[in-house]
Amino acid sequence: MNLYPFKFIPILKDKIWGGEKLGTVLDKPVGESKTCGESWEISGVEGDISVVAEGELAGKNLVELIDQFKGELVGDNVYQKFGKKFPLLIKFIDANDDLSIQVHPDDELGMKRHNSFGKTEMWYVVDAEEGATLISGFNKQTSKEEYLEVFESGRLMNILNRENVYNDDVFFLPAGRVHTIGKGLLIAEIQQTSDITYRIYDFDRVDANGIGRELHVEEAVDAIDYNYYDEYKTQYDQTAKEAEIGESQYFITNRLLIEESIKRNYSTFDSCIILMVLEGEGSLKFDGGSVSYKLGDSILVPNSISSVLINAEFPSKLLEVRIP
């Protein structure tokens, strides 16, 4: 069987801080939900494995695809390293309210405590309401002892770095960085395959039953990077037709602006390619056929497809992700 670019059925997650933009902006099938916070686009997380939406392999899940096609799908090196575990989790996030202040463990701590990868992630701001902010890291050098003293005295917000956020901003968040997505942000998120979150503070919110969400204060202490960094927002040329906006040992991300069409040669990469559509619509032509795309789509291009021609019927903005 010839492989083709895959779209998957979105896995939708209601959240206490979620809103309606995943439905109204990205056309996700949220139904009557007013608090849909996440659309897991491509997931290999146990219990939330993505299922193919279209084509000959519709109904197959991602683990079954990797098991059947191995390196043809994900790349030989990726398969040798990760086996049937897809190493990335691709999401859209709608924050109608601030998320909790949180941190994620690195690979070493994640494996030790949870038999899980750590969670390094990247955010691309699809849409930011006026005045939107987020938190990334500390605004000063601190230490475990100072952090605990500030936290216990209720002054945590005083040492956190808050950023004003605009459309097309990019933030890279290595495991260990304290962070939160702020109210009014629609974000594309690329991260390691992990659902391990240590919730530090949740603004004293309670659910319909008056119960607050669990906090993980003690677990977080050993996961936090207490260093201060000069720059938390990724700087790149926002007018460039092609811009590399994120590079790490886990994923490499480009942002593409396409007015009419562009050919992408993937023959030198030993990896599948993930395309997230942030604007526009059109089609991907490949040797063997074509698939349409529209705003909100996430498409996995198998490693066996060496090139695609992206034809934009309407000017398009895409994220292009691969596994190093």
Domain boundaries, the chain: 6-221, 242-322
pLDDT for the residue numbered 204:
83
Q: Catalytic residue, from 113, 162, 199, 213: name it.
A: 199
- pLDDT at 7 exceeding the cut of 90: yes
Average pLDDT in the 86-108 region?
A: 97
**Residue 199 is among the residues annotated as catalytic for this protein:** yes
The pLDDT of residue 52 is above 80: yes
Helical spans, DSSP H, in 115-162: 144-152
Query: pTM to 2 decimals?
Result: 0.96
Would you place residue 252 in the very low, low, confident or very high pLDDT band (cuts 50, 70, 90)? very high
Per-residue confidence (pLDDT) for residue 207, from 0 to 100:
75
Provide CATH code, domain 242-322.
Answer: 2.60.120.10
- Per the CB < 8 A criterion, the answer to whether 184 and 131 are in contact is yes
Mean pLDDT rounded to a whole number for the chain: 96
- Domain 6-221: assigned CATH number: 2.60.120.10
Q: In this predicted structure, what is the pLDDT of residue 210?
A: 82
301 has a pLDDT exceeding 90 = yes
> In the predicted model, what is the mean pLDDT of residues 264-281?
98
- Per-residue pLDDT at 280 exceeds 90: yes
Confidence of residue 129 (pLDDT cuts 50, 70, 90): very high
Q: Do domains 6-221 and 242-322 have the same CATH topology?
A: yes
Residue 224 CB partners (closer than 8 Å, separation 6+): 103, 144, 147, 176, 178
- For the chain, the farthest-separated pair of C-alpha atoms sits apart, in whole angstroms, at 63
The answer to whether residue 166 scores a pLDDT higher than 80 is: yes
Whether the CB-CB separation of 88 and 193 falls below 8 Å is answered with yes
Q: Percent of the chain scored above 70 by pLDDT?
A: 100
Whether residue 118 contacts residue 106, with contact meaning beta carbons closer than 8 Å, is answered with yes
pLDDT attached to residue 199:
95
Q: Give the pLDDT of residue 100.
A: 94
Q: How far apart are CA 40 and CA 160, in angstroms?
A: 28
Q: 120: which 2 tokens?
A: 């390094």
| pLDDT reading at 1 higher than 90 | no
Q: pLDDT grade, residue 212 (50/70/90)?
A: confident
